[in-house]
Amino acid sequence: MHAFISSHFYLSRLVPSLSLLVMFSGVIIYSCRGKPNLEKARQELLALHQEQQTAHLTENARMLIDQSADNAISINRGKISRLARDSSIRRFEKYFAGITHKKWEDVHPPEIYFSDDGSMAYVIVDKRVVITYPDEKGKMQEESTHFAWVNIYKKQADGQWKSVCIASTNEPSQVISLSETPVPGGDPAAR
C-alpha cells in the first residue's frame, strides 16, 4: 500500500508538470510555424490574375475555370449562382465562341488583401474590356465595358490558390458599329 501511495503522490505532481510541458511545446511548435509569406502569395495571385487575362484574350475557358474551386460562387447581375466545373467550362466556351477580346486591361493595379493566417485573400480588380462580335444582322460591333470585381481566393491543402467566390459589376457598355456590311458567317442565328 505504501508503494501505491508513494507512486500516486509522485504521479499527482508529475501530471501537472507534463501538462505544462505539452502545452508549452504546443505553443512553441505553433509559433515556429512562422508567418505566412505574403509577398510570395501576392506574386502567386498576381500570376493568376495575369492568367485570367490570357484566358480571356486566347478564349481558353478551361484555363479560366481551372482557377476556381469546385462549385465556386458567382455573384453577377443580381444573381448568386454555383456552377459545377463542367457547366462553367461550357458556359465560357459558348461565350468565347461568340466574341473576340481586343483588350482586357487593368485600369488600376489589382489590390490584394490577406486574412491574418494567410489562408484566404481577396483581389479587387478594376478593368476595361473591349470585345467585338457580330450583331443579329451580322454587322460587327465593338463593345467597351468598365468592370470592377472582387475575387475571393482560398489556399488549398496542396498550396494552390483557388477562387471560391467572385462578385462582379460593370458600368453600362458603349457599343459602336464597326462596319455597315455583314461579316461572312457572322449571323448568330446561323450558329
- Per the structure block, which three cell numbers stand in for 11? 504521479
- Residues contacting 131, CB < 8 A, separation 6+: 99, 100, 101, 102, 142, 143, 145
Over 90: is that where the pLDDT of 2 sits?
no
175-190 pLDDT per residue, tens: 888 875 555 555 544 4
Q: Is 33 strand, coil or helix? A: coil
Cα(155)–Cα(6) distance, integer angstroms: 53
Q: Is the per-residue pLDDT at 81 higher than 80?
A: yes
Phi, psi (degrees; rounded to nearest 5) at 26: -65, -45
- For 31-69, write each residue's pLDDT tens digit: 455 789 999 999 999 999 999 999 999 999 999 999 999
Please name the residues in contact with 65: beta carbons below 8 A apart, sequence gap of 6 or more: 85, 88, 89, 92
Cell numbers that stand for 125 in this block: 480588380
* Mean pLDDT, range 139-145, rounded to an integer: 95
pLDDT at site 21: 47
Which residue did the predictor score with more confidence, 178 or 162? 162
Q: Inform me whether the pLDDT recorded for 22 exceeds 70.
A: no
3-state helix, strand, coil in the chain (%, to 5): 40, 40, 25
Average pLDDT of the residues in 120-137: 96
- Cell numbers for 95, please give them: 461565350
- Considering only CA atoms, which of 118, 111, 132 is closest in space to residue 178? 132
105: pLDDT strictly greater than 60 = yes
Nine-digit cell string for 1 = 500500500
Q: What is the pTM of this model?
A: 0.74
